[in-house]
Amino acid sequence: MKLLITGGAGYIGSHTIIDILENTDHEVVSVDNFSNSEPASYDRIEQITGQKVRHYDIDLTDYKRLKEELFEVESAFDGIIHFAALKAVGESVEKPVMYYHNNLNSQINLLKCIEKYDIPAFIFSSSCTVYGEAETLPVTEETPVSKTESPYGYTKLAGEKILEDFSKTKDNFRAISLRYFNPVGAHMSGKNGELPKGRPNNLVPVVTQFASGWLDALAVHGDDYETRDGTAIRDYIHVSDIAHAHVLAMEYIVAQKQEAVYDVYNLGVGKGVTVLEVIKAFEASTGKKLDYTIGPRRAGDIEAIYADNSKVRNRLGWEPRLTIEDAMSSAWRWQEHLNASRDYGKARP
Ligand code: UD1
């Protein structure tokens, strides 16, 4: 297969390219405008896999460039895995138009190209944020959606709907939305991982940057939730396990195993873990003690969510291979890799 990976220099995109190059014979082309990543990401992929990735620096909202400089240059793709999107929840509340413009127009332009160049398969990065605060846990794919809190969440919800509607109109086309829970960790070599621009918001980069002195505080956002230790519960899933699910999903639809033209899958480990348990897992797997503080709840946070993942297990044959300890130790190896690099030292928040 020849696959187009959008956002291939980003966190999940780069790990997916690594999985494809390490485990399959599929050909990969990436498109990324480095809005939250950097060209060095491709060098890291090459260091790990020994293979160069052909890549384009194009903003997907620019249909003319996308069409003329990518789709007309490359021969036909067998499928597209679409990661490229803005994803900071708080920023989306402050800049909703930027989020709707970027995330929706990028996807719509890709669908236009799918129509024009007759591409048969599409995988969309969705999020458990579409469930909002669910009444019953774990959430299944049948749990009602649409109570999402942020413009970011609405771009995922709308993206799913656009894809579903599009799928019904096109012959010989199959699509999947994967609803990620909380992606964490780094490639087990420690040579590729998450590199958010500026100060991170997500828990694990905050933990690793705090542990190495880049940040001066680690605040637990609220310990008065109705959970076993008072802190919020999430389903943390190793990024390499997320990456592998895309390969399985693409092979599944290209082999025409999916009857429905469009389907959604939860992608989580199926286990709820509290913030304090994440911190303990980090301490246990790295031997580093975290001197955290307890702060107030973070606006917009929900109390608890975790996945029922039986559908992705049963249909795609996916299962999580790595643990939360693997996620913490690999995230730490990646952080140490960054610490050792002078250039990243300068980029510290
Ligand atoms: C959010 C989004 C999710 C998105 C993910 C990755 C929602 C509901 N969730 O997940 O869709 O895929 O970001 O971008 O919109 N925490 C602390 N201290 C910190 C940082 C985080 O205690 O310094 C806590 C949070 O309050 C939360 C947990 O850690 O309880 C996880 O937070 P985070 O990593 O930011 O992910 P979510 O908010 O769950």
Q: Tens-of-pLDDT digits for all 349 residues of the chain?
A: 999 999 999 999 999 999 999 999 999 999 999 999 999 999 999 999 999 999 999 999 999 999 999 999 998 999 999 999 999 988 999 999 999 999 999 999 999 999 999 999 999 999 999 999 898 999 999 999 967 779 999 999 999 999 999 999 999 999 999 999 999 999 999 999 998 788 898 999 999 999 999 999 999 999 999 999 999 999 999 999 999 999 999 999 999 888 899 999 999 999 999 999 999 999 999 999 999 999 999 988 999 999 999 999 999 999 999 999 999 999 999 999 998 885 565 556 5
* Tokens 């959008």 found at: 6
Q: Is the CB of 89 under 6 A from ligand 1?
A: yes
Phi-psi region of 159 (alpha: psi -120 to 50; beta: other; left: phi over 0): alpha
Residue 141: closest CA among 150, 132, 131? 131
Residue 305 CB less than 6 A away from ligand 1: no
For residue 106, report the distance from its CA to the centre of ligand 1, in Å.
24
| CA–CA gap between residue 220 and residue 216 (Å, rounded) | 14
> How far, in Å, are 13, 55, 57, 75, 312 from residue 194 at the CA level?
11, 19, 20, 31, 25
183 Cα nearest atom in ligand 1: 6
CA distance 96 to 86: 11
203 C-alpha to ligand 1 centroid (Å): 6
Task: Quote the domain boundaries for residue 88.
Answer: 2-347
Nearest to 157 by CA among 143, 147, 166: 147
Interacting residues of 56 by C-beta distance below 8 A, sequence separation 6+? 29, 30, 31, 32, 69, 70
Distance 326 CA to ligand 1 centre (A): 19
Total domain count, the chain: 1
SS (HEC) of 72-97: CCCCCCCEEEECCCCCCHHHHHHCHH
180 part of the active site: no
β-pairing verdict for 293-295 and 219-221:
parallel
> Contact at 8 Å (CB) between 207 and 200?
no
Domain CATH code at residue 31: 3.40.50.720
